[in-house]
Structure 1
Amino acid sequence: MESAHAIDMPESKKANGSGKGKAAVGAPAAAVATTKATPHPRGGWKKGVAIFDFVLRLAAIGAALGATATMGTADEILPFFTQFFQFEAQYDDFEVFMFFVIANGLVSAYLVLSLPFSILCIVRPHAVGPRLLLLIGDTVMMALTIGAAAAAASVVYLAHSGNPNANWLPICQQFGDFCQSTSSAVVASLIAAALLLILIVLSAFALRRRT
């Protein structure tokens, strides 16, 4: 009886231990198989943001180039003039307008050069370096664009309304085409600044989200 009891007890423990061992070994394998079978897609929305970024940059290039070209070609000569004197208005008669042309030209060049980095963000949506570089560059160019547009807008306002306190007469009644061109250039520059602001928000959002 003692020998039978001694034989039965190890066999039951061994059987129980063997069952537990198989369950312990089998559970992680099933968990790993389940994890591999249901992969979690990541980065799809970042690629969409990068594509939208590229489209907005093309629009901003058009707005900035339009502002530069419109202001740079603003010129009007009045039909009445004498042999020694003629009434003419050009953009380079105003230093503010010259600064406006240079600033928007620089912004246009930057936006063209930023296109390869925007394409890189489409190809590699999770890349942090190109996105951070675009964020910094867009911020600087937006500040430059807003500064140039605000300075030019103040001169355009004086050209339209004048300043009676300083005895500055409005000139847009005579130089209507010139004022129309300068006003259109300022509007185009403000549109470019608004697009740059949207680009900054998109870049910041893409950098902040990690999933």
Structure 2
Amino acid sequence: MTSTAARAGVNRGASILDFILRIVAFLGTLVSAVTMGTTRERLPFFTQFLQFRAEYDDLPTFTFFVVANSIVCAYLVFSLALSVFHIIRSNAKKSRIILIFFDTAMLALLTAGASAAAAIVYLSHKGNAKANWFAICQQFNSFCERISGSLIGSFVGVVVFILLILLSAAALSRR
């Protein structure tokens, strides 16, 4: 086996790993967006006619989280085509550079959405007495469990994007 053939085999393996990681990130961002987007809870107050409610779209930060995860999820679907192209042609260079560029942009968007939502989730759990922000998670247990859980998939996506960028950079450096 020549050095070129061995390098092509390693690059093909990296391309297959890239494809698998993109599917993992797609699933994480999809589940996060759907979980957050369908989160709502209502609590009766004295009577059935007077209720308190908590919904994800009550806070613009959670709306941004859903939109950011949805955009990244859609991007991942489209990037799967390039990932398949890299499996077929493992020595493609320009398309890998394009993927690194867009992966970095999506990493920034996903990190911004997840971090902003994490700050609000923290305040929902702990509150802030100085700002008169009361912890709502004692009353809205299901709501808080779902918004906390939706962060997991998003942060998994962040880690996967970091791995994807490093993997693409390593594949480019082998050329």
Please state which band the TM-score falls in when normalised by the shorter chain: over 0.9
User: Structure 1 vs Structure 2: percent identity of aligned residues?
Assistant: 48
Cα RMSD (Å): 1.3
Q: Is 2:44–2:50's contact at 8 Å kept on the other side of the alignment?
A: no
2:166 maps to a residue whose letter is: V
Q: Deviations over 1:140-179 (max 9, x none)?
A: 0011000000000000000000001112110000001001
**Residue in 2 that maps onto 1:3:** none
**Residue in 2 that maps onto 1:110:** 75
Q: Is 2:30–2:73's contact at 8 Å kept on the other side of the alignment?
A: yes
Task: Provide runs of 4+ in structure 1 moved above 2 Å.
Answer: 38-42, 79-85
Q: Is 2:36–2:56's contact at 8 Å kept on the other side of the alignment?
A: yes
**Residue in 1 that maps onto 2:87:** 122
Indicate the SS of the match to 2:130.
helix
Q: Is 1:81–1:87's contact at 8 Å kept on the other side of the alignment?
A: no
Question: Gaps spanning 5+ residues in structure 1: where?
Answer: 1-37
Distance 1:74 1:57 in 2: 26
Distance 1:120 1:79 in 2: 55
Alignment of 1:53-68 (within 5 A): 53-68=18-33
Alignment of 1:45-84 (within 5 A): 45-82=10-47
Q: Deviations over 1:16-69 (max 9, x none)?
A: xxxxxxxxxxxxxxxxxxxxxx85424110000000000010111000000000
Instruction: Compute the displacement of 1:80 (Å).
Output: 3.2
**Residue in 2 that maps onto 1:188:** 153
TM-score, structure 2 length as denominator?
Answer: 0.95
Give the total of aligned pairs.
173
Alignment of 1:24-35 (within 5 A): none
Greater relative CO (CA pairs within 8 A, separation 6+): 2
Give the counterpart of 2:127 among 139, 157, 162.
Answer: 162
**Residue in 2 that maps onto 1:131:** 96
Distance 2:46 2:166 in 1: 52
Question: Gaps spanning 5+ residues in structure 2: where?
Answer: none
